[in-house]
A and B are shown apart, each in its own frame.
Chain A
Amino acid sequence: MSAPVRGDEVRLGPPGPPPQARGRFGEFGGRFVPETLIPALEELEAEFRTAWTSPEFRSEFAGLLSGYAGRPTPVTECRRLSEILGVRVLLKREDLTHTGSHKINNVLGQALLTRRMGKQRVIAETGAGQHGVATATAAALFGLECIVFMGAVDVERQALNVFRMELLGAKVIPVNSGSATLKDAINDALRDWVASVETTHYCIGSVVGPHPYPWIVREFQRVVGDEAREQCRGMLGGKDPDYVVACVGGGSNAIGTFAGFLDTDARLVGVEAAGLGLESGKHGASMSRGVPGVLHGARSLFLQDEDGQILEAHSISAGLDYPGVGPEHAALAASGRATYASADDEEALSGFQLLSRSEGIVPALEPAHALGWLQREAGNSVPLGSTVLVTLSGRGDKDAMQVAERLTGEPLE
């Protein structure tokens, strides 16, 4: 099979393995939700099981991914960056999709499921606003009512995305409880859903939440990894990259990328937000510093105190500002198949500028963490001469203003 090329039709790879019984990935996952939601999750699971093996559903999904979202996205060879770092850098360009991030892959799939279930209203949580924009986009495309819950802090730092969502016809509800970020937006989305579940689909944006969400979102995102694997083999004479790297908040772009490379020899590395530093206590590194717990419907790793109260995360990037991680990542770490590292705010800013200047590509702050990690580790834990695929999960336009203020120390006029 030839490697996917932009302008081709999207060819979906075969479905990946479902989780084990009761939605488990090893000891993680599950369905820890109020009783009221159980029937809806059972319905969603049954609907997805049928849809995901249905040729009609797959063909419609693939058609939307190519005709609407602009897939396949290319893998870009970064010549100047490779020269600077001493490793060969390939970028999977999710920034080039419609709406500018990988989030569109998942929402198009979930919008199709929403229609199949006969529901007319979707709710979503958003951190950086990328998933909110993607959901609002799909809702406009499918004629669905759309409500997006967004932490008040994020509403502030991602004003442009708030406007985009409203422009697309969605209603954005600022969430003031708790830390007023992504975690609290998910809490309020769940509270809405407990009341509205009979008419509403909760379009979760990452590989988090109760079963079947981590499975569904991984499957809708695996196109990223499946495409990238074939594209890398085309560029590398049939070989796989030595490293496959992606940033991890909840972990959807990373799990989608890793899904395509699980059966290869590539080392899989997830990069979390170290915020102000792992020792500062102000970070989003739930893989490095979290312990097993149950939040938002799943057992996974969470930042929490000695009594099991969830701690606030911190990151310069709203999309990584989450005190947990998807259960399949926790399982991949436990099995050793993937490893998880982190990059702090400064390293992310450095990666942000490095890619902009060396390749003319402005990354979102989330994948800038993966780039910042690579900048630090190239020639250290990543041997010089290695080939490294980095998933560029989104473009950086949304972050330009925030980074400008951060770099110049004053607000942009």
Chain B
Amino acid sequence: MNLESTLRVKRDAGKKLLVPYVTGGLGAAWLDVVRAVALAGADAIEIGIPFSDPVMDGRTIQEASQRALDIGATPAGIAADLSRLDIDVPLVVMTYYNPVQHAGHERFAAQLVAGGVDAAIVPDLPLDELDGWGDAADAAGIETVLLAGPTTGDERLQRICERTRGFLYGVALMGVTGERDHLAGQAKVMGQRCKAATDKPVLLGLGISTPAQAAEAADAADGVIVGSALVRRLLEGGGPEEAGAFVASLRAGLDADSVSG
């Protein structure tokens, strides 16, 4: 099953979806972190392939990306590491367009396939510029997830929904990745707009940092993506155990909510 069918099955069974983000190559134990996150109840896992100039990312993921690059993380190396994973959870890489086009669309897609990756998010490659990579990814069986933002108009949202694969990434706030004290007011509106526009799974991401925020956001969508709150714990020295515990707390927040609500 590809990413979209996996997520659909779980959603249709009444489950709220949880997709944690882990920066690839962040420390020698990073694959153990991915395993722990999988065991703790992730429905898919987003793997960041670090880029030198991540303009959609706030301080936490910037720092994680830089640390990973400093200790030698490369797209090919991360894909090779992922191929050694023995987990049954779909993988979605998140990176920027320059490393993709530099490797070459077909070659990059082939590396992902070899790494057992199901899908890719390239946030600086909007709908209008998607063609080269989008076609190569489709041909290789890599699902390219598109983002829709609070500023996206209805007509454009419709086109994004049609073209996205895997799921629709609803950008839950105006800004870059990073933890926030409160869930942005735009999050629920975004979730509702996206849900009204497509039957594909809708996940909200950006600024979702706690179990309570995750549950609140998931009310308006099919699930959430949580990045900075997890990566900060890793930057502060947390290992697989702490990562697993945090993801389990997010899982519990989502499950309690879907049971009660």
**Interface on A for B, CB 8 Å cutoff?**
22, 30-40, 177-178, 183-184, 187, 190-191, 194-198, 291-297, 302, 304, 307-310
Contact = CB atoms under 8 A, between A and B. Distances in A.
B179 to A, nearest CB: 14
A55 B75 CA distance: 52
A191 B55 contact: yes
Contacts of B129: 22, 30-32
Contacts of B152: 35-36, 38-39
**Which interface residue of A36, A177, A197 has the most chain B CB atoms within 10 A?**
A36
Nearest to A293: B98
Contacts of A178: 52-53, 66
A293 B58 CA distance: 23
Given A31-B129, A34-B55, A187-B55, A307 B151 contact: no
B101 interface: yes
Contacts of A31: 126, 128-129
B4 interface: no
Nearest to B131: A22
Nearest to B50: A309
Nearest to A183: B53
B141 interface: no
B74 A307 contact: yes
11 contacts: A34-B124, A34-B126, A38-B149, A39-B151, A39-B153, A177-B62, A195-B173, A295-B98, A308-B75, A308-B103, A309-B69
Given A30-B129, A34-B56, A177-B62, A309 B174 contact: no
Nearest to B62: A177
A96 B200 CA distance: 59
Given A32-B124, A307-B75, 9 more contacts: A31-B126, A31-B129, A35-B127, A38-B149, A178-B53, A194-B175, A294-B97, A296-B55, A304-B102
A91 B51 CA distance: 42
B99 interface: yes
A229 B148 CA distance: 47
Given A190-B55, A197-B151, A310-B52, A36 B174 contact: yes
Contacts of B160: 35
Interface string B30-64: 00000000000000000000011111101000100
Nearest to A190: B55
B123 interface: yes
A40 B53 contact: no
Nearest to B171: A36
A295 B147 contact: no
Nearest to B100: A308
Given A187-B53, A194-B56, A197-B174, A308 B128 contact: no
B113 interface: no
Contacts of B97: 32, 294
A277 B238 CA distance: 44
A291 B104 CA distance: 13
Nearest to B75: A307
A194 B174 contact: yes
A294 B98 contact: yes
A294 B101 contact: yes
Closest 9 CB pairs of A and B: A308-B102, A36-B149, A195-B175, A308-B99, A309-B52, A190-B55, A35-B149, A310-B52, A39-B151
Interface in B114-158: 123-129, 146-153, 156
Interface in B148-195: 148-153, 156, 160, 171, 173-176
Nearest to B51: A309
Contacts of A37: 151
**Which interface residue of A39, A304, A309 has the most chain B CB atoms within 10 A?**
A309
Given A35-B160, A36-B171, A310-B52, A304 B151 contact: no
A35 B176 contact: no
A363 to B, nearest CB: 31
Contact of B176 (A39, A194, A197, A295): A194
Contacts of A197: 151, 174
A13 B24 CA distance: 52
A212 to B, nearest CB: 13
B56 A295 contact: no
Given A34-B147, A183-B53, A294 B176 contact: no
Nearest to A299: B101
Given A177-B62, A195-B175, A308-B99, A36 B151 contact: yes
A288 B100 CA distance: 23
A311 to B, nearest CB: 8
Nearest to A33: B124
Contacts of B174: 36, 194-198
A38 B176 CA distance: 15
Nearest to B178: A191
A142 B176 CA distance: 29
A35 B126 contact: yes
Given A22-B128, A39-B151, A183-B53, A34 B98 contact: no
A293 B102 contact: yes
A308 B98 contact: yes
A184 B52 CA distance: 10
Nearest to B146: A35
Interface string B201-224: 000000000000000000000000
A8 B126 CA distance: 46
Nearest to A196: B174
Interface in B55-88: 55-56, 58, 62, 66, 69, 74-76
Contacts of A296: 53, 55
B54 to A, nearest CB: 8
B258 to A, nearest CB: 28
Contacts of B76: 307
